[in-house]
Amino acid sequence: MTTGQVKAFKLLSVAGAYWRGDEKNKMLQRIYGTAFEKQSQLDEYLKMREEAEKRDHRKLGKEMDLFSFHEEGPGFPFFHPKGMLLRQNLLAFWNELHDRYEYDQISTPIILNRQLWEQSGHWDHYRENMYFTTIDDAPYAIKPMNCPGGILVYKSNVHSYRDFPMRTAELGLVHRHELHGALHGLFRVRSFTQDDAHIFMLPSQMKQEITGVLDLFHEVYSAFGLEYHVELSTRPENSMGSDEIWELATKTLKEAIEEKGVPYQINEGDGAFYGPKLDFHVKDSIGRTWQCGTIQLDMLMPERFDMTYVGEDGQKHRPVMVHRACFGSIERFIGILVENYAGAFPVWLAPIQVKILPISEKHMAYAAELRKKFKKAGIRVELDESNEKIGYKIRKAQIEKVPYMAVIGDKEVETGTVSVRDRAKGDLGAQRTDEFIAHIKDISDSRKG
């Protein structure tokens, strides 16, 4: 491409940078810009960039009082009460789905000894991203992944082919060291919760189980209105396992996604050395894509940990092992949702569903009664007890992206009603309290809004 083909360009920003990244060298000026063949392409890019800045989860997270970061723990997120409500709503959905899809939940320790990480291969291949400690003069590591702990749970019992498939899920807190410059809000942190699951099965059950995972993933992403596509990564040059098992594993993944009609592309030779994988890329409301879920067949761990089951022939065999994560990281997925919805979460997910706004002090007693009534009905409610004017209270609730506001004045106190404001539609007029509660519960329980 020559400069003559560049019809539209724009300088975006400037920043200081040390020559060759060494602070002992001179400070230089780095100029950032972008260029396109057509002005319309540049305009479209700048519009999306402007929209993305408005949706920045770091900015909205602060405005909505969801989470924060502090110098005392760079890369370690602090979730505030409203952020925890959002997180709990997300995990309640996750728990409900995994119960319905017949997963058993487990919990494994955050700290495990060096021997385990040597056996798993993390000590040799992932050590620079791990944190360490010493207990009773022996070396230990804080887990960067949940898999080895899940394998120890499997190995704590003798298994028969009749036990399969075994689906074990874990919401496990992991820690990974990232360079300070790579940290980016909730998208790149040093501690996060992985929604891991490990499925142990017979080779004959692979397609059935992969199909089940595809169904679960589809249900999750659809609940948030997220479109997605899949990338299938196949066998790399340096890999372990027989040609037969690789061919079967890749064929099974391909057949499963084709039968489900899921759009996918093949990344030849881009799989892990221990097995092929499916990566799920979701598209947000402004067209950006984010890598979230993954389904990974693993031919290494069963060998390294001598995992076995007793087959129909009475002999020991290796189980097929699948790693899968739907959100990938709970924290990162929350960041994606904040930006996808621009903070205006659907009613079922919103940390606060209703904010009660009394016009003056004399309306406070009725407002407090309403708060109790809403809470008893299981609705997440907040009462604005400030002495500010009602216009200010409404603007504050709008900034907080609360789905509904219940304005309380003389008329509402006299008639036992609420004056409802929708964050998007504005004034909806007076409603009976019981009817308003029933409406919120209906759209929340059905996850329609």
Environment class of 127 (CB within 10 Å of its CB; exposed 0-12, middle 13-18, buried 19+)? middle
CA dist., res. 130 & res. 310, Å (int): 36
Q: Is 147 marked as a binding-site residue?
A: yes
CA dihedral 98, 103, 104, 107 (to 10 degrees): -60
DSSP letter at 126 equals: S
Environment class of 33 (CB within 10 Å of its CB; exposed 0-12, middle 13-18, buried 19+)? exposed
Q: Which residues are part of the catalytic machinery?
A: 147, 176, 194, 196, 198, 277, 323
For residue 231, give the nearest of 283, 288, 271, 287 by alpha carbon.
271
H/E stretch holding 112 reads strand 111-113
Q: Is 70 marked as a binding-site residue?
A: no
Counting runs of H as helices and runs of E as strands, what totals does the chain give? 14, 22
The token pair that represents 152 in the structure block: 């120890």
CA dist., res. 422 & res. 403, Å (int): 6
Q: Is 229 marked as a binding-site residue?
A: no
What is the SS3 assignment for 395? Answer: helix
Binding site members for Zn(2+)? 147, 198, 323
Binding site members? 147, 198, 323
